[in-house]
Structure 1
Amino acid sequence: MGYKSLCFGFSCILFAYFLYSPIPENIEEPWKVRYLDATVKVVSYMATLFENIGLMKYEKLFSTSSVFYITQAVSDENVTVIDTYFSNIPVRLYVPKRKPERKRPAVIYIHGEIKAYDNMNRLTSNKLGAVVLGINYRLAPKYPFPAALDDCVSVTKFFLQDKVLAKYRVDPTRICIMGDSSGGTLAATVTQLLRNDPEFRNRIKAQALIYPGLQMIDTFLPSHREYAHGPILIREVMLKLLSLYVANDSSLIQASLRNEHMPEESRHLFKFVNWSDFLPEKYKKNHVYTAPVLGKLNASYPALVDSRLFPLLVNDSQLQNLPLTYIVTCEHDLLRDDGLIYITRLRNVGVQVIHDHIEEGVHGAISFTTGSVVLQLGFKIRSRYIRWLEENL
């Protein structure tokens, strides 16, 4: 009992300290953002402490906290919600109850524990009259790369079969792949792989990426430096969790924090993520580009040079085949520049891109539209995304 009281007291002191950490001035609902930011930082510190004393793995505390947002498969008067399996992988389907006048559109939604996004997927299905498919892919570190991607590709290909689309009355020409944050990474890769696959390329009409993470071969982009300490998404936390997806190796985490994690043979890839070439001038500010230090990490991890892990690493010829693209970036977001670089590269090869930049935005806002703390910014992003789907799908 004394140990638990000590931990609780320490976490309260940390929370009070972080609650008054400075945040950018123009953020909407600043005290709510402060609360969420402080919560993430306390969880990170406690997770580090618990791991160091052998009580709990770092990532376990993060996954435990997400359980509070999970909802069961409950249908309502508008949407039938079904938990089932596609290709032996758990999925959740949202199927409108009203009889369609024509075949329905469909959205394949990708983001970790999909049951935590029930509210948004239910709303999307109801407003668009669309079938929404959420994928509960395997998670790291138990299942490292490429397990999550393999699950997403397998489920998507299963869903795109004629017999499955016919079962749910889905129009094969009106399908969008969508993801946010790490789900945006997977959505971008799945779209690249399928649009370059002759069997499936004509079945993906659009992709929607909400503040996606698209590369980590250069961890010193301007937004990485400006928002290393948040709000909400913290550079050290992000690199720890990403490193666990590649390998459970603490030296990889430390090397990535120093931007010294890439091998010598990766030199040719940096032309794809060179922010001095692709970022709009207003985001370069006074930052000076410095090339990452290569070949410092003794261990070798082939995943680090794999474009299936980092969608920005594909060449222009592979980008040319991509469909209509919607990308949301947030000003006060560590991953802001990933999205901005991708937008520039896509437009350079002729892909039609609709870009929504949220000046007062922070990472993860769309996750906070339910629960004890909700952000109006989350509702704004969600509304813009659904309106784009209505107009383009």
Structure 2
Amino acid sequence: MAVVYTLLVLYLAVFVAGFILLVMGAIHFNFSNIEIPPGVNQPVKLRIIHIILITRSVVGKILENIGICSQLSFARYVQDRSTLGVDPKLFIEDLCFDKVPVRIYQPKVPFASQRRGVMFFHGGGWVFGSLETHEKLCRSIAKGSESVVVSVGYRLAPEHKYPAAYEDCLNATIHFMKNLEHYGVDPAHVIVCGDSAGGNLAAAVSQTLTTRSDLPKLRAQILIYPGLQALDFNLPSYQQNRAVPLLFREHAAFYALQYLNGHALHMEEVLEGSHIPIDMKLNYSKWLSPDNIPEKFKVRGYKPQVLLDCTTEVYEEVQRFCEPNMCPLLAEDAVVHQLPESFILTCEYDVLRDDGLLYKKRLEDNGVRVTWYHLEDGFHGILNLNGFCGFSFPSGKRGLDSVVNFLKGL
């Protein structure tokens, strides 16, 4: 018995020592490989969040190496553990819309007439995220704006490549729009909304629905720090914020490739810009150019990039990056000018900032009304941290309030 007890103590000691080394390694990586700009409010809190994420990633890798589960599965499992329970102000129901899992949030407060309906597509780089990870955000939007919110649990990459996520979001939206009366939603007040990769999906769905005469017209689209293109990862915001949590430049390219092809081959070419032929880049430069970004967003540093050509082999692998359903910034003017009133939220310390700025200009140039809200001290993913274990940021609350206020004004 004493021998067993001694072995257990030794195993526990080894485990504790290993965990301490793991955390110390995560802390070292944090201070060695990330940048927290001076303008970020509560920088220590952001470092702690990043350390937690790095620790989770390392634990997942260890579990993968010893054959317990994949790193990806572990990360998703940890993300999906949060449960909020019953909300006294909302009816919450899990259903399927055209075989796509959805979660519906309906306010219990009596409403004088039909409500707004919000289709919400979660972020997570098309690889992570779920109905659970954005549960609190969806509840806040539903209660704050007194709208019916439908969160869509679309299929994730790399298991399900493009256009799976887009098709799920589109099909769920069409199903909802054909059954609005069942949820007490006004057909003239349907909105698509999403954050990060979800913003990409919301923009793509909105563009597709401009051609549907058999469905109600969308009232608005809400794009929260959206990723809208994968042709240029050297825009000013990508250079300035390349190592700012919670989304690094390399991660943005990695997720786009995972969504497109189910793997991240040719990531080096994508990052340096040698994955698209020069003549195509020049063709898209009227929409996708640093020249279209206001100079005040370049003062933190920007080095113009030399145009690089690509090989046929690489282009064949990534050519679908040029499809608007994948990269909505590249849609033709004939589509863009039909888009509904738009809300775009950007964060100063976010690699995707300039995607939002460029789309804002495209919309305005085509006569689309745009409400733009910029978080000067914000970073990618900040809205989803509201109420998260004490890790909220004031600018995240302001961003959420801006979304709710926009909805209430429709």
In the superposition, the TM-score normalised over structure 1's length comes to: 0.90
| Cα gap change, 1:258 to 1:56, in 2 (>3 Å) | farther
For residues 322-361 of structure 1, what are the structure 2 equivalents within 5 Å?
322-361=339-378
Matched residue, 2:304: 289
**Structure 2 residue aligned with 1:81, among 56, 78, 92?**
92
| Cα gap change, 1:4 to 1:239, in 2 (>3 Å) | farther
**One-letter amino acid matched to 2:396:** G
The number of equivalent residue pairs is: 387
Query: What is the CA-CA distance between 1:306 and the residue it aligns to?
Result: 1.3
Kindly indicate whether residue 151 of structure 2 is the aligned counterpart of residue 134 of structure 1.
yes
- RMSD of aligned residue pairs (Cα, Å): 2.5
**Structure 2 residue aligned with 1:97, among 94, 98, 108?**
108
Query: What is the CA-CA distance between 1:41 and the residue it aligns to?
Result: 4.1
**Structure 2 residue aligned with 1:144, among 142, 153, 161?**
161
Are the counterparts in 2 of residues 276 and 284 from structure 1 also a CA contact under 8 Å?
no
**One-letter amino acid matched to 2:42:** E
| Cα gap change, 1:118 to 1:37, in 2 (>3 Å) | same
| Cα gap change, 1:119 to 1:271, in 2 (>3 Å) | same
Matched residue, 1:167: 182
**Structure 2 residue aligned with 1:260, among 250, 274, 279?**
274
CA distance, structure 1, for counterparts of residue 380 and residue 136 of structure 2: 19
Query: What is the CA-CA distance between 1:48 and the residue it aligns to?
Result: 6.5
| Cα gap change, 1:334 to 1:50, in 2 (>3 Å) | farther
Matched residue, 1:214: 228
Are the counterparts in 1 of residues 114 and 184 from structure 2 also a CA contact under 8 Å?
yes
Which protein is bigger by CA-based radius of gyration? 2
Query: What is the CA-CA distance between 1:94 and the residue it aligns to?
Result: 0.8
Q: Extract unaligned runs of 5+ from structure 1.
A: none
| Cα gap change, 1:50 to 1:252, in 2 (>3 Å) | farther
Kindly indicate whether residue 206 of structure 2 is the aligned counterpart of residue 191 of structure 1.
yes
Are the counterparts in 1 of residues 60 and 70 from structure 2 also a CA contact under 8 Å?
yes
Query: What is the CA-CA distance between 1:36 and the residue it aligns to?
Result: 1.7
Identity of aligned residues (%): 29
1:238-295 C-alpha deviation (Å, 9 max, x unpaired): 2222211112344322322332223567435532543333101112335243254232
Are the counterparts in 2 of residues 266 and 305 from structure 1 also a CA contact under 8 Å?
no
**One-letter amino acid matched to 1:376:** P
**One-letter amino acid matched to 2:165:** A
1:66-91 C-alpha deviation (Å, 9 max, x unpaired): 1233x36x543321000011101110
Query: What is the CA-CA distance between 1:198 and the residue it aligns to?
Result: 2.3
Matched residue, 2:218: 204
| Cα gap change, 1:76 to 1:54, in 2 (>3 Å) | closer
Matched residue, 1:381: 399
Matched residue, 1:32: 45
Most deviating of 124-133 and 48-57: 48-57
1:153-212 C-alpha deviation (Å, 9 max, x unpaired): 000000001xx1111111000111110111111011111111232223x43100111111
Matched residue, 2:4: none
Are the counterparts in 2 of residues 326 and 353 from structure 1 also a CA contact under 8 Å?
yes
Q: Extract unaligned runs of 5+ from structure 2.
A: 1-10, 123-128
Matched residue, 1:319: 336
Kindly indicate whether residue 251 of structure 2 is the aligned counterpart of residue 237 of structure 1.
yes
| Cα gap change, 1:67 to 1:269, in 2 (>3 Å) | farther
Matched residue, 1:246: 260
**One-letter amino acid matched to 2:293:** L
| Cα gap change, 1:332 to 1:43, in 2 (>3 Å) | same
| Cα gap change, 1:158 to 1:338, in 2 (>3 Å) | same
CA distance, structure 1, for counterparts of residue 380 and residue 61 of structure 2: 22
CA distance, structure 2, for counterparts of residue 227 and residue 33 of structure 1: 14
In the superposition, the TM-score normalised over structure 2's length comes to: 0.86
Query: What is the CA-CA distance between 1:55 and the residue it aligns to?
Result: 6.9
CA distance, structure 2, for counterparts of residue 148 and residue 135 of structure 1: 10
| Cα gap change, 1:204 to 1:247, in 2 (>3 Å) | same
Query: What is the CA-CA distance between 1:39 and the residue it aligns to?
Result: 3.1
Are the counterparts in 2 of residues 262 and 297 from structure 1 also a CA contact under 8 Å?
no
CA distance, structure 2, for counterparts of residue 10 and residue 244 of structure 1: 31
